[in-house]
Structure 1
Amino acid sequence: MISEGKLIFYFDYIDPGSYLVDQLMDGLVVDKDKIILHPLEIRPPPLSRINPSNPHWISYRDKVQQLAKESGLVLNDPTSPPWSRKAHELRLYAKDKGLEQLIHKEIFKAHFCQGLDIGRIDMLVSIGINAGMNTSECKATLDVDKYSHDIAQLGRAATDDGIKYTPVLRTEGDSLEGVANIRELRKFLIRSGINVSMDINNHFKS
């Protein structure tokens, strides 16, 4: 059950479409605390990592790149995505520390802007340190897979609710499935009763 006025964002940190939607929502959604982050791994372990030469993946990346360009955004999508389980674990750890939004943005930035391997614990610990987390505690948390079961369980909950891929936005009475341009996203948010910024043209092309 989704509370009235809430917006669930099903996403993965290695999904360029999730990153694009996340960036667009930054400029559109006024009440960021209405957004509920829900992880859904594209390729959860023990499945193999994404094959960067897969024609469907290449076509999807190209589509997202074009939509990003239309919205005036730069998207540096790494060609060989890692598993994202550890990155999602770091966000849950950060949530318990009151740093969820900061870490969420930094993980996306590390992958899509800096080209860092967010599947590596040392890289994620560096992100945590820069956000003010305790080094040893952060590393230990990721080393022992403290939140791994939670991520897997959240993924199963998403699929049980009919969510098969990312990105997906869902409100109490509506949903937007797949990557969208800024016009489609704005229409969905307004239709769903989400408070939308009127200054969007200061941030993106429309």
Structure 2
Amino acid sequence: MATQLNLPIGVQAFGKIRTGGFYYVDKTPYLHQLIDEGSYYFLSRPRRFGKSLLLDTLKELFEANEPLFRGLYIHDRWDWQIRHPVVRISFADGVMVNRSALDTRIRHLLQSNRERLGIEHSGAQDIAGEFSDLIRMAHHQHGQRVVVLIDEYDKPILDNITDADAARELREGLKNLYSVLKDADPHLKFCLLTGVSKFSKVSLFS
């Protein structure tokens, strides 16, 4: 008799789906194609479209968590001997109403990534410097180029969309963070940003 599985409603952790008795529709052929054909991607979709689950699946893949992918398309097409350091940033939680709150959140996220990757603070005083040093040091320390996954890249702006001054202030703070990615190219393996707004509507990137 077949085992009855559960629908993963609201589950955003790939590992939980694969080990917790949930149905999973294999999306790894598309991930394999994305990774094989490019390095920088942006995905704009409404909320509750599975963007966070997609990022978590990529995190587990690049961290070479092989048992989670057994039986899936990508399992026999991936080099599980290579483990990439993954920097994951998410603005999904909470509401930031000004630049100070945003900067505090960013510093907390960068610190969390440093702790997870076993990297010391470089001593940089500015957020762009902290982010840049994190990527560079992760590459050198782990011996593989870095994967950057950013979830809800535009949420701090959207949370303040009715306050034009606050939205502009938060946009500048995010621009300061994301500007690091261009010059970090030699240290990056793969980069994916997800959000609701299109690039052209936010004016964060050149």
TM-score between both structures, scaled by the size of structure 1: 0.23
Higher relative contact order (CA 8 A, sep 6+): 1
Pair member with larger Rg: 2
Q: TM-score, normalised by structure 2?
A: 0.23
